[in-house]
Copies of this chain bind each other. A is one copy, B any other.
Amino acid sequence: MEQLVHSPKSLASAITRQRKAKKLSQTEAGSIFNIEQSTFSSIENGAPGTRLETLFRILAALDLEMVIRPKTVSTHKTEESW
């Protein structure tokens, strides 16, 4: 269940997905690490200027982790499973 992310947009979908999986509203999720609901909203809408610091707080709040690795030469099929 890991998502390959290559843009603010796809990152947004990974975040939204996990938040909903945890049945949290933006307000609830945000309160965990003091993130404004409005900030949560813009991030989930793919705001390209979101700051790293904010992103990491969100990942922590949703129990998500980020992995960075050299690009794998995977077939496209596998990735677009989501």
Q: How many identical chains are in the complex?
A: 2
Cα distance A14–B23 in the bound complex, in angstroms:
32
Sort chain A's interface into a size bin. Answer: 20 to 34
**Interface mask (A40-68 → B, CB under 8 Å = 1, otherwise 0):** 00000001111111011001100111111
Do A70 and B64 touch across chains, with their CB atoms under 8 A apart? yes
Q: Which residue of B14, B50, B68 is within 8 Å of A14 (Cβ)?
A: B68
**Interface mask (A1-34 → B, CB under 8 Å = 1, otherwise 0):** 1111111100100110010000000000000000
Among A15, A18, A55, A60, chain B packs the most CB atoms within 10 A around the CB of A55
Q: How far is the CB of A21 from chain B (nearest CB, A)?
A: 8
Q: How far is the CB of A24 from chain B (nearest CB, A)?
A: 14
